[in-house]
């Protein structure tokens, strides 16, 4: 067993060394420093993208692609797109208005090595570079595959999950928000004091969130899914039992697989964002307390004056009705409506019942406000 362990470690170490060299070489070719006014921007992008990080993402991508016969160079290029997204997210996470970090991978963070404005632009440019890489024929000659790659990365790097609605509320309540006409929110937590189970699991006396972030950097989907499973531990076994009883019903199996895949598509969460979510929202309830700040400016729910539709599930075990209440009491909107629909956190919006119960009501609310 000891010999196997040494061999495995050696193989993994060699693979990591090779992928680091390949990714750095590709970024070196992708980001040549021009002899013009853009030089400083390119230098900042290179500072963030080259010579740092474990490169586990491109390693896993290249290994998986190899199983399906994809050429290594094409897979490495695709891995560089993923790393460009990762580098951009770290630049923005490190900014003073976010995590305010001074060091990243043993070097000064981009906003300290250069300046804040350059850091923001470098992050934005790396985000754009990721999709520029994926649409290149050097990744694949098949334009449909390139479109799928772009769509997949866009979904994976975008705003998703339970926190999406909370982020929308935070934006709408910030002084930076552009005019918003309608604000439709589905099971959106605002008052985190009423996220009872999550408050228990995130109790600061026992939960060392900083340790978790230091060890993982990215919070894996399994942790988030595990939290939801703990909230209703019998759900998954019951679902599997129902599937077993309907194994010969092709329509049921197809529907089950589609729904189960959708429900399980939870993405990794950047550590700095997760830390902010736990500390500022869960522990301090800063959104309701009026102490949440974005880029030095206070987020005030009273700034929200758009028409609001607050959609809540009657049997939601994740977001209680009380957690959404400030949308109806602390905002300045004169056009506020609430729908309390039958169902749980997921069945509120998905499945045949939602098509009959919820979405016709949403259509009735949205139609006169969108013309």
* Domain of residue 278, CATH code: 3.40.50.1820
* Domain of residue 97, CATH code: 1.10.600.10
What one-character-per-residue DSSP string does 35-99 give?
Answer: SSTTHHHHHHHHHHHSS-S--HHHHHHHHHHHHTT--HHHHHHHHHHHHHHHHHHHHHHHSTTTT
Q: Is residue 230 assigned to a domain? A: no
E-only strand ranges, the chain: 103-104, 107-108, 182-186, 218-219, 269-270, 293-294, 297-298, 307-313, 336-341
HSE toward the beta carbon, residue 359, CA cutoff 13 A: 9
Decide if pLDDT at 129 tops 90.
Answer: yes
d(CA 286, CA 280): 6
Mutual orientation of helices 116-134 and 39-49 as an angle, nearest 10°?
70
- Domain co-membership, 343 together with 295: yes
Min mean pLDDT across 170-184, 232-246, 259-273, 296-310 is at 259-273
Q: Is residue 235 assigned to a domain? A: no
Q: What's the rounded mean pLDDT across residues 183-198?
A: 88
307 phi and psi angles, rounded to 5 deg: -65, 135
Q: How confident is the model at residue 341 (pLDDT cuts 50, 70, 90)?
A: confident
- Domain co-membership, 170 together with 317: yes
- Domain co-membership, 31 together with 84: yes
Q: What's the rounded mean pLDDT across residues 125-132?
A: 93
Of 340 and 155, the structure prediction assigns the larger pLDDT to 340
Among 138, 156, 174, the domain-final residue is 156
Question: What is the extent of the structural domain holding 90?
Answer: 2-156
| DSSP secondary structure code for residue 303 in this structure | G
State the pLDDT at residue 77. 95
Secondary structure element (H or E) that encloses residue 364, with its range: helix 359-366
d(CA 91, CA 113): 11
Residues above pLDDT 70, as percent of the chain: 92
Among 156, 174, 208, the domain-final residue is 156
Q: Is residue 247 assigned to a domain? A: no
d(CA 62, CA 58): 6
Q: How many domains, the chain?
A: 2
- Domain co-membership, 151 together with 136: yes
**Of the candidates 106, 109, 87, which has an alpha carbon nearest to the alpha carbon of residue 97?**
109
State the pLDDT at residue 8. 44
- Domain co-membership, 192 together with 46: no
Min mean pLDDT across 31-40, 69-78, 358-367 is at 358-367
- Domain co-membership, 36 together with 97: yes
State the pLDDT at residue 351. 67
- Domain co-membership, 92 together with 191: no
- Domain co-membership, 143 together with 168: no
With beta carbons less than 8 A apart as the criterion, state whether 94 and 104 touch: yes
- Domain co-membership, 102 together with 168: no
Q: Is residue 251 assigned to a domain? A: no
Of 359 and 326, the structure prediction assigns the larger pLDDT to 326
Structure tokens at 256: 């089950």
**Of the candidates 77, 73, 82, 160, which has an alpha carbon nearest to the alpha carbon of residue 127?**
82
Of 338 and 251, the structure prediction assigns the larger pLDDT to 338
Residues above pLDDT 90, as percent of the chain: 37
d(CA 289, CA 286): 5
With beta carbons less than 8 A apart as the criterion, state whether 191 and 312 touch: no
Q: What's the rounded mean pLDDT across residues 247-269?
A: 78
pLDDT digits (tens, 9 = 90+) for 21-35: 999 999 999 999 999
Among 110, 129, 156, the domain-final residue is 156
State the pLDDT at residue 265. 67
d(CA 210, CA 208): 6
- Domain co-membership, 54 together with 148: yes
Q: How confident is the model at residue 4 (pLDDT cuts 50, 70, 90)?
A: very low
- Domain co-membership, 72 together with 181: no
Please, what is the average pLDDT of the chain?
Answer: 85
pLDDT digits (tens, 9 = 90+) for 139-148: 999 888 888 8
Decide if pLDDT at 156 tops 60.
Answer: yes
pLDDT digits (tens, 9 = 90+) for 85-110: 989 988 988 888 777 788 888 889 99
Q: Is residue 36 assigned to a domain? A: yes
- Domain co-membership, 18 together with 95: yes
**Of the candidates 33, 82, 74, which has an alpha carbon nearest to the alpha carbon of residue 55?**
82
Structure tokens at 84: 């460009």
Q: Residue 347 contacts by C-beta under 8 Å, 6 or more apart in sequence?
A: 313, 353, 354
Decide if pLDDT at 254 tops 70.
Answer: yes
Q: Is residue 227 assigned to a domain? A: no
Decide if pLDDT at 63 tops 80.
Answer: yes
């Amino acid at each position: 067993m000891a010999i196997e362990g040494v061999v495995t470690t050696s193989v993994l170490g060699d693979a990591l060394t090779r992928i680091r060299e390949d990714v750095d070489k590709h970024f070196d070719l992708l980001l040549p420093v021009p002899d013009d006014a853009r030089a400083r921007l390119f230098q900042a992008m290179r500072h963030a993208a080259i010579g740092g990080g474990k490169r586990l993402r491109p390693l896993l991508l290249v290994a998986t692609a190899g199983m399906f016969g994809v050429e290594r160079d094409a897979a490495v290029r695709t891995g560089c797109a993923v790393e460009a997204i990762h580098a951009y997210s770290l630049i923005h996470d490190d900014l003073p208005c976010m995590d305010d970090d001074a060091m990243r991978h043993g070097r000064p963070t981009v906003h300290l090595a250069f300046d804040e404005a350059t850091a923001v632009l470098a992050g934005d440019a790396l985000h754009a570079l990721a999709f520029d890489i994926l649409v290149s024929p050097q990744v694949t000659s098949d334009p449909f595959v390139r479109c799928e790659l772009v769509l997949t990365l866009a979904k994976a790097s975008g705003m998703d999950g339970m926190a999406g609605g909370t982020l929308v509320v935070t934006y709408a309540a910030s002084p930076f928000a552009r005019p918003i006409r309608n604000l439709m929110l589905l099971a959106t937590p605002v008052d985190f004091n009423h996220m009872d189970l999550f408050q228990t699991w995130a109790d600061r006396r026992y939960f060392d969130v900083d340790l978790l972030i230091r060890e993982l950097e990215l919070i894996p989907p399994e942790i988030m899914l595990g939290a939801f499973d703990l909230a209703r531990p019998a759900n998954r076994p019951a679902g599997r039992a129902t599937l077993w009883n309907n194994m010969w019903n092709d329509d049921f199996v197809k529907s089950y697989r589609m729904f189960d895949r959708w429900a399980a598509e939870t993405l990794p969460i950047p550590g700095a964002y997760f830390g902010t979510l736990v500390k500022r929202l869960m522990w301090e309830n800063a959104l309701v307390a009026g102490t949440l700040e974005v880029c030095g400016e206070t987020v005030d729910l009273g700034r929200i004056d758009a028409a609001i539709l607050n959609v809540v599930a009657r049997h939601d075990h994740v977001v209680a009705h009380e957690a959404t209440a400030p949308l109806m009491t602390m905002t300045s909107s004169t056009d506020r409506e609430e729908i309390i629909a039958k169902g749980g956190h997921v069945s509120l919006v998905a499945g045949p019942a939602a098509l009959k119960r919820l979405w016709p009501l949403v259509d009735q609310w949205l139609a006169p406000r969108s013309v």
